[in-house]
Amino acid sequence: MSSQKRLTRAYEKAQRISFNNESKFIIFSDCHRGDNSFADDFANNRNIYFHALKTYYDQGFTYCELGDGDELWENIDFKSIFEAHKNVYDLMQLFYAEGRLYRLLGNHDMVYKNDRYVEKHLYTYFDKITGKDVPLFPGVTFTEGLVLEHETNGQEIFMAHGHQADFMNYVGWKFNRFMVRALWRQLQIFGIGDPTSPAKNYRELIKVERRTKKWIVNNKNLFTITGHTHRPRFPEPGEIAYFNDGSCVHPRSITGLEIENGQISLIKWQIATTEGGTLKVIKLLLEGPQKLIDYKTE
């Protein structure tokens, strides 16, 4: 199956939800939450991510996580990840309980495609204080795609992780996972990145973006948001409508996309130093806001 067909299948089978100009969404991907070891890239930005997500929760945003949220190539099971970042999952649990959490499949958490695996590891967790299993994300499901449908103008916004345009990270994900566990995880401590990852290999990144843009053009310039490459993208109206939210494992910062008041913005959260020497987490506007309707095609 070609990358074009894989993207089409993700779009056709995507979960669909309606929205309007009052709706608010925060879109992150590629958190790669790990076990807090030397190989856990997320650990460096954990406090930034938690503060940002808590802010969005308090402000009534819906959280869309576009895959690779949990690092299940380097880590064999979810339990070690959960215990390392329990405060993050407690916060995500609040989103989920209020129907404000949508999680998509990525290549690094492709095991969530198995419903039985999800039920076993994510529905509940063992509470060491009470000695009982308690709910975490009961009934949670993972899909490859998510489509937002505007209630009045019919505009569609398609979201996917983006690995559908990457053969080895979609079809060959099990082989890549084996190589990461057997080789690249150990070499990561020396600063050697996985060459199969588009986030570490510029040539692969360009190929993935080119295939994704081709699919968008062939589908009437459908408004599309992905992650996977870790490179933020924010086109101008009239250009190919390919957006990328970046990642949560940039050096000392995380990037994402906000949808609010019928507009979309590319944002970055990072730690800044005040004149008095205090460290604080701040949000920067990188691109936008731009009206969603400006990207609508007939």
Question: What's phi and psi for 230, nearest 5 deg?
Answer: 70, 5
Q: Which strand (E) or helix (H) includes residue 55? A: helix 46-58
Q: How far apart are CA 163 and CA 7, in angstroms?
A: 9
DSSP for 72-94, written as a single string: TTTSS-HHHHHHHTHHHHHHHHH
Q: How far apart are CA 165 and CA 245, in angstroms?
A: 16
Using an 8 Å Cβ cutoff, are 242 and 209 in contact? Answer: yes
247 CB neighbour count, 10 Å cutoff? 26
Using an 8 Å Cβ cutoff, are 64 and 102 in contact? Answer: yes
Per-residue pLDDT in tens (0 to 9) along the chain, 298 residues: 699 999 999 999 999 999 999 999 999 999 999 999 888 999 999 999 999 999 999 999 999 999 999 999 989 889 999 999 999 999 999 999 999 999 999 999 999 999 999 999 999 998 888 888 899 999 999 999 999 999 999 999 999 999 999 878 877 767 777 777 666 655 555 555 555 556 567 788 899 999 999 999 999 999 999 999 999 999 999 999 999 999 999 999 999 999 999 999 999 999 999 888 899 999 999 999 999 999 988 6
Q: Mapping DSSP to helix (H, G, I), strand (E, B) and coil, where does residue 161 land?
A: coil
The pLDDT of residue 191? 55
> Domain ranges in the chain?
3-295
- 291 to 54, 79, 261, 270, 276: CA distances (angstroms): 25, 41, 9, 25, 38
The pTM for the full model equals 0.92
CA 6 vs. chain centroid, Å, equals: 18
DSSP 180: I
CATH architecture classification, 3-295: 4-Layer Sandwich (3.60)
List the end-to-end C-alpha distance of the chain, in Å, as a whole number. Answer: 28
Using an 8 Å Cβ cutoff, are 15 and 143 in contact? Answer: yes
Question: What's phi and psi for 247, nearest 5 deg?
Answer: -165, 175
Q: Mapping DSSP to helix (H, G, I), strand (E, B) and coil, where does residue 201 land?
A: coil
The burial of 207, by beta-carbon neighbours within 10 Å (0-12 exposed, 13-18 middle, 19 or more buried), is given as middle
